[in-house]
Protein backbone atom coordinates (compact mmCIF):
# COMPACT_ATOMS: atom_id res chain seq x y z
CA UNK A 1 0.00 0.00 0.00
CA UNK A 2 1.54 3.33 -1.01
CA UNK A 3 1.28 6.41 1.15
CA UNK A 4 -0.85 8.01 -1.54
CA UNK A 5 -3.49 5.51 -0.50
CA UNK A 6 -3.97 7.34 2.82
CA UNK A 7 -6.82 9.41 1.38
CA UNK A 8 -8.57 6.32 0.03
CA UNK A 9 -8.13 4.43 3.29
CA UNK A 10 -9.41 7.42 5.24
CA UNK A 11 -12.57 7.46 3.10
CA UNK A 12 -13.05 3.71 3.53
CA UNK A 13 -12.45 3.99 7.27
CA UNK A 14 -15.04 6.75 7.61
CA UNK A 15 -17.65 4.70 5.75
CA UNK A 16 -16.85 1.53 7.70
CA UNK A 17 -16.47 3.17 11.13
CA UNK A 18 -18.75 6.27 11.06
CA UNK A 19 -18.39 6.64 14.86
CA UNK A 20 -14.59 6.68 14.68
CA UNK A 21 -13.43 8.21 11.37
CA UNK A 22 -9.69 8.50 10.72
CA UNK A 23 -8.75 11.56 8.66
CA UNK A 24 -5.92 11.31 6.08
CA UNK A 25 -3.24 12.67 8.48
CA UNK A 26 -4.25 10.06 11.07
CA UNK A 27 -3.99 7.30 8.46
CA UNK A 28 -0.64 8.67 7.26
CA UNK A 29 0.59 8.63 10.85
CA UNK A 30 -0.42 4.98 11.27
CA UNK A 31 1.21 4.11 7.94
CA UNK A 32 4.43 5.75 9.14
CA UNK A 33 4.79 3.48 12.18
CA UNK A 34 7.75 1.13 11.66
CA UNK A 35 6.44 -2.33 10.79
CA UNK A 36 3.21 -1.07 9.22
CA UNK A 37 1.73 -3.10 6.39
CA UNK A 38 -1.68 -2.93 4.81
CA UNK A 39 -3.87 -3.77 1.89
CA UNK A 40 -6.80 -2.37 -0.03
CA UNK A 41 -9.30 -4.73 -1.64
CA UNK A 42 -10.47 -3.77 -5.11
CA UNK A 43 -13.61 -4.92 -6.87
CA UNK A 44 -13.08 -3.76 -10.43
CA UNK A 45 -12.39 -0.05 -10.12
CA UNK A 46 -13.98 0.23 -6.68
CA UNK A 47 -11.93 0.19 -3.51
CA UNK A 48 -14.15 -1.93 -1.33
CA UNK A 49 -12.20 -2.70 1.81
CA UNK A 50 -8.95 -2.41 3.70
CA UNK A 51 -6.78 -4.05 6.33
CA UNK A 52 -4.10 -2.26 8.35
CA UNK A 53 -1.56 -4.18 10.42
CA UNK A 54 1.62 -3.78 12.40
CA UNK A 55 4.62 -6.09 12.59
CA UNK A 56 5.70 -6.18 16.24
CA UNK A 57 8.38 -8.84 15.80
CA UNK A 58 7.18 -12.29 16.91
CA UNK A 59 3.63 -11.08 16.63
CA UNK A 60 1.60 -8.96 14.22
CA UNK A 61 -1.41 -6.86 15.22
CA UNK A 62 -4.39 -6.25 13.00
CA UNK A 63 -5.11 -2.57 13.62
CA UNK A 64 -8.20 -2.13 11.50
CA UNK A 65 -10.28 -4.08 8.99
CA UNK A 66 -13.30 -2.82 7.12
CA UNK A 67 -15.45 -3.52 4.08
CA UNK A 68 -17.86 -1.01 2.54
CA UNK A 69 -21.43 -1.83 3.62
CA UNK A 70 -22.60 -2.56 0.05
CA UNK A 71 -19.81 -5.13 -0.43
CA UNK A 72 -20.26 -7.03 2.83
CA UNK A 73 -20.96 -10.78 2.91
CA UNK A 74 -19.19 -11.27 -0.41
CA UNK A 75 -15.99 -12.73 1.05
CA UNK A 76 -13.86 -9.57 0.98
CA UNK A 77 -13.34 -9.39 4.75
CA UNK A 78 -12.27 -13.04 4.89
CA UNK A 79 -9.94 -12.52 1.90
CA UNK A 80 -8.30 -9.47 3.52
CA UNK A 81 -7.90 -11.35 6.79
CA UNK A 82 -6.43 -14.39 5.03
CA UNK A 83 -3.92 -12.35 3.12
CA UNK A 84 -2.97 -10.31 6.23
CA UNK A 85 -2.23 -13.62 8.01
CA UNK A 86 -0.13 -14.76 5.03
CA UNK A 87 1.83 -11.49 5.03
CA UNK A 88 2.34 -11.82 8.80
CA UNK A 89 3.64 -15.37 8.27
CA UNK A 90 6.00 -14.07 5.60
CA UNK A 91 7.35 -11.56 8.12
CA UNK A 92 8.12 -14.41 10.51
CA UNK A 93 5.35 -13.74 13.06
CA UNK A 94 4.16 -16.63 15.24
CA UNK A 95 0.75 -15.13 15.85
CA UNK A 96 -1.61 -12.32 14.98
CA UNK A 97 -3.74 -10.43 17.48
CA UNK A 98 -6.56 -7.90 17.31
CA UNK A 99 -9.16 -6.17 19.45
CA UNK A 100 -12.86 -6.35 18.73
CA UNK A 101 -15.91 -4.97 20.53
CA UNK A 102 -17.86 -7.66 22.38
CA UNK A 103 -21.05 -6.62 20.54
CA UNK A 104 -19.55 -6.71 17.01
CA UNK A 105 -21.28 -9.88 15.90
CA UNK A 106 -20.18 -9.73 12.25
CA UNK A 107 -16.49 -9.32 13.08
CA UNK A 108 -16.62 -11.93 15.87
CA UNK A 109 -18.15 -14.48 13.48
CA UNK A 110 -15.52 -13.73 10.84
CA UNK A 111 -12.63 -14.01 13.31
CA UNK A 112 -13.96 -17.17 14.96
CA UNK A 113 -14.42 -18.77 11.57
CA UNK A 114 -10.87 -17.77 10.68
CA UNK A 115 -9.35 -19.55 13.66
CA UNK A 116 -9.02 -16.72 16.20
CA UNK A 117 -9.61 -17.49 19.87
CA UNK A 118 -10.10 -15.24 22.89
CA UNK A 119 -6.86 -14.27 24.63
CA UNK A 120 -8.15 -11.52 26.92
CA UNK A 121 -10.70 -8.84 27.60
CA UNK A 122 -10.29 -5.07 28.03
CA UNK A 123 -13.04 -3.47 30.08
CA UNK A 124 -14.67 -0.27 28.76
CA UNK A 125 -12.25 -0.16 25.86
CA UNK A 126 -14.55 1.50 23.34
CA UNK A 127 -16.87 4.44 23.88
CA UNK A 128 -19.88 4.49 21.58
CA UNK A 129 -22.50 7.24 21.83
CA UNK A 130 -21.48 7.80 25.44
CA UNK A 131 -21.68 4.06 26.25
CA UNK A 132 -18.64 2.03 27.27
CA UNK A 133 -18.15 -1.31 25.50
CA UNK A 134 -15.63 -4.02 26.38
CA UNK A 135 -13.15 -5.33 23.84
CA UNK A 136 -12.03 -8.92 23.38
CA UNK A 137 -8.41 -9.56 22.50
CA UNK A 138 -8.30 -12.34 19.92
CA UNK A 139 -5.26 -14.27 18.80
CA UNK A 140 -4.53 -16.73 16.05
CA UNK A 141 -1.39 -18.80 15.92
CA UNK A 142 0.31 -18.77 12.54
CA UNK A 143 1.93 -21.80 11.03
CA UNK A 144 4.88 -21.25 8.76
CA UNK A 145 5.36 -23.76 5.99
CA UNK A 146 8.89 -24.32 4.70
CA UNK A 147 9.78 -26.14 1.50
CA UNK A 148 10.46 -29.84 1.99
CA UNK A 149 13.92 -30.76 0.77
Contact footprint for ligand COA (CB under 6 A): 16-17, 65-67, 72-78, 100, 104-107, 109-110, 113
Q: What values do phi and psi take at 48, rounded to 5?
A: -105, -15
Compute the least distance from the CB of residue 147 to ligand COA, in Å: 30
Name the residue nearer to ligand COA (CB basis): 103 or 144: 103
The distance of closest approach from Cβ of residue 81 to ligand COA in the complex, given in angstroms and rounded to an integer, is 8
- Taking the least distance from each CB to ligand COA, the nearer of 6 and 97 is 97
Residue number, 6 or 76, with CB nearest to ligand COA? 76
Cβ of residue 33: shortest distance to ligand COA, in angstroms? 18
Would you say 27 or 145 has its CB closer to ligand COA?
27
Q: Shortest CA distance to 48 belongs to which of 79, 88, 87, 86?
A: 79
- Cα-based angle 128, 46, 26 (whole degrees, multiple of 5): 40
Strands laid side by side in the 36-43 sheet: 36-43, 46-55, 59-67, 95-101, 131-141, 117-128
Residue nearest to ligand COA (CB): 77
Amino acid sequence: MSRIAAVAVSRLHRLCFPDDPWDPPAVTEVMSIPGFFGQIAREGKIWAGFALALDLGDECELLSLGVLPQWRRTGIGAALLRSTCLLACGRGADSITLEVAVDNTAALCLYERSGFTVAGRRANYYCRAGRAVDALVLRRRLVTAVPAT
